[in-house]
Amino acid sequence: MINHFPEPAWGEPQDAIEACSALGATGPSPAVLTGVFLRLLQYHFSDSRNIENPLLKEYIWTSSTSGCVSGTEGSTTIPGSRLLIRPSYSPRGPEVQQLPSLFVKREPVGTGKISFMDRSLPGLNQNRVFDGTQHQVNISGAHSIICRGGSGVEADLLGEEVFFRMLHYQQIIKQDFRLGFLLTEALSDVKSRDEFQRTFYSIVRVSWAYVYRWKVIPETPIVKRVAFGYQER
């Protein structure tokens, strides 16, 4: 005896393909990486469970529409847990003097050849039409994460926390953000910002590189005209 099962009723089809993000479509850029490092630091210090050093458990970052940073975990305010995380070029204001704080600074960016050829040969597309030449370079740079504190110990512990955070997850960050190279290079010694030694800081340096490609497609044919002139003696 053969069992017969009724055909299921099919509803409206669902779009299972998500739209491609801007990062997936265009790839990384120095400005995008500044935002990436900022968000990673803000996420890390937004929850005390992410923080490894027990002495920093109360250094909680939260966003605020007024531009102020307050320390909260749930509905309970934690005293002394104010932490500022911003790019280094943020507008200067009273909150910039807040301690402790983390600033992300982009260092100079450079280019280098990938091989002896910086472009591929001209090609034809599927319609047998010239579609330009493909160019590529290696873009490399670095970001410095400046960890400021009101004491040398505070600056040192913040720098250590950031250093090991970036070191532990550098391979995942490299893969997720389509980088060819990412390395947490160094944690500097603790330095004093002014002669009165009221502000201390340490610097975590993260270097990166990726391949940047673009195509040059002429809109109209290029016509070269060569003229020869003769001079009588």
Alpha helices (H) along 4-73: 22-26, 30-44
The residue to which tokens 């319609």 are assigned: 127
Q: How far is CA 60 from the centre of its chain?
A: 21
pLDDT at 62: 84
Q: Tell me, yes or no, whether 38 lies in a domain.
A: yes
Q: Tell me, yes or no, whether 5 lies in a domain.
A: no
Q: Tell me, yes or no, whether 225 lies in a domain.
A: no
pLDDT at 213: 83
Nearest C-alpha neighbor of 45 from the set 65, 67, 66, 72: 72
Q: Is the pTM of this model over 0.85?
A: no
Per the structure, how many domains does the chain have? 1
In tens digits, the chain (233 residues) has pLDDT values of: 666 667 666 666 656 555 555 565 567 899 999 999 999 999 999 999 999 999 999 999 987 644 444 343 433 334 444 789 999 887 555 555 678 999 999 999 999 888 766 666 555 566 666 667 778 889 999 999 999 998 999 999 999 999 999 999 999 999 998 899 999 999 999 998 776 567 899 999 999 999 988 877 776 655 555 555 555 55
* DSSP secondary structure letters along 120-177: PPP-B-TTS-B--EEEEEEEEEEEEEEEEESSHHHHHHHHHHHHHHHHHHHHHHHHHT
Burial class (CB in 10 A: 0-12, 13-18, 19+), 109: middle
Q: Tell me, yes or no, whether 183 lies in a domain.
A: yes
pLDDT at 160: 97
The amino acid at 194:
D
pLDDT at 221: 57
Domain that holds residue 28: 24-216
Dihedral over alpha carbons 47, 51, 56, 61 (to 10 degrees): -30
pLDDT at 68: 41
Q: Tell me, yes or no, whether 48 lies in a domain.
A: yes
pLDDT at 220: 60
Q: Which residues pair with 147 in a beta bridge?
A: 102, 202
* C-alpha to C-alpha distance for 33 and 143, rounded to whole angstroms: 8
Q: Tell me, yes or no, whether 34 lies in a domain.
A: yes
Q: Tell me, yes or no, whether 114 lies in a domain.
A: yes
pLDDT at 79: 41
